[in-house]
Amino acid sequence: MNLWLTILLAGLATFLIRYSFIGAAGRVNAPAWFARMLRYVPIAALTALIWPDLLLPAGELQLSLHNPRLLAGLIAALVAWRSQNIFLTIAVGMGALWGLQWLL
């Protein structure tokens, strides 16, 4: 599919999701199971992108201390957990990656 068309469809899908209940003007309520499931959407969808980037940096499983992305990602996760600060997480994670790439 052409990239422009892809983006237009992705934008349309995003808009329709945002408009859904507003458009229904309070006549439709979100079913409870749907609301429950949505809680896990960001966790599940973003994890699907995080783990392969850390564990399969070259398309193959690399569970070792010589994998700088895995180590830097774990350090960043620790920073995110303690600080809850997005920018500190990115800064420390990038610094760790550069340091480890230079060391290893």
Decide if residue 58 touches another protein (CB under 8 A): no
CA distance 78 to 99: 17
Decide if residue 64 touches another protein (CB under 8 A): no
Decide if residue 62 touches another protein (CB under 8 A): no
Per DSSP, helices labelled H in the chain are 3-23, 32-38, 41-55, 68-83, 86-103
Decide if residue 72 touches another protein (CB under 8 A): yes
| Distance in Å, CB of 65 to another protein, minimum | 18
| Distance in Å, CB of 36 to another protein, minimum | 6
Helices 41-55, 68-83: axis angle to 10 degrees equals 150
Instruction: Give 24-28's long-range contacts (Cβ < 8 A, gap of 24+).
Output: none
Near another protein in 12-31, by CB under 8 A = 13-15, 17-26, 28-30
| Distance in Å, CB of 32 to another protein, minimum | 11
